[in-house]
Every structure is written in C-alpha cells, then in structure tokens.
Amino acid sequence: KQEVTQIPAALSVPEGENLVLNCSFTDSAIYNLQWFRQDPGKGLTSLLLIQSSQREQTSGRLNASLDKSSGRSTLYIAASQPGDSATYLCAVRRNGNQFYFGTGTSLTVIP
C-alpha cells in the first residue's frame, strides 16, 4: 500500500514569508500527484495537479514540484498571506482508482 507522509504537521509563519511544504510517498509508480487545501469544516479545493511526466506546475504564488524517483513533492508558497491559512493535503494516484492522501500540514499565517 502507498504511504504518504507530510512534514511538518503544523507550521506557523509571519505574513510575507515564503514557505515550503513537503510530501513524500513510498511507491514511485504513480500517475499523478495533486495538492489540495482544506478549510475548517469544508471540502477540499484543488490547487495543483502534476502528472507523472511533469516536474513542476505553477499557479499564481504557488509552485509544486515532483521528483518521482525520490518519492517527493514540494509545495512552495510565495509571499504568504493570512488567507493562505488552511490545511494542505497532497494525494498521489497509483494505477487504477486508488488515491492516497497524506495527513496534511496545518498552516497558520500570522498577520
């Protein structure tokens, strides 16, 4: 079974800082990797999707990278804002229908 780990579990930074969230997975045979944010009491909002053949994806202040061979992905958030406060989850997809999620990183951006 694919194991997905996210480090750190919680992170608190002052507004304006750049930060990196980490996601690691044990089986490199993946189709894609998706980053989500989850606000308290709400569902998941898709942020970025990286296909297995890609190295990175960018959207606004967010940049996600993928290194399949080492089983790692990072989510880089530039110039963090209080509105970025949420839990960030990564999910990897193996063959078939199975998506495996990490336990998330809880981010707090302090004004």
Chain positions 12 to 31 lying near other proteins, rule: CB under 8 A, are 31
Residues 78-97 that bind other proteins (CB under 8 A): 89, 91, 96-97
Among residues 24, 34, 73, 85, which is the contact residue for other proteins, using CB under 8 A? 34
Residue with tokens 């981010």: 107
R_g over Cα of the chain = 13
Q: Answer yes or no whether residue 51 interacts with other proteins by CB under 8 A.
A: yes
Would you give the end-to-end CA distance of the chain in angstroms?
40
CB contact at 8 A, 38 and 89 = yes
Task: Report in angstroms how near the CB of residue 98 gets to other proteins at its nearest.
Answer: 6
Q: Which is nearer to other proteins, 14 or 42 (CB)?
A: 42
Contacts with other proteins, residue ranges (CB under 8 A) = 4, 31-32, 34, 36, 41-46, 49, 51, 89, 91, 96-104
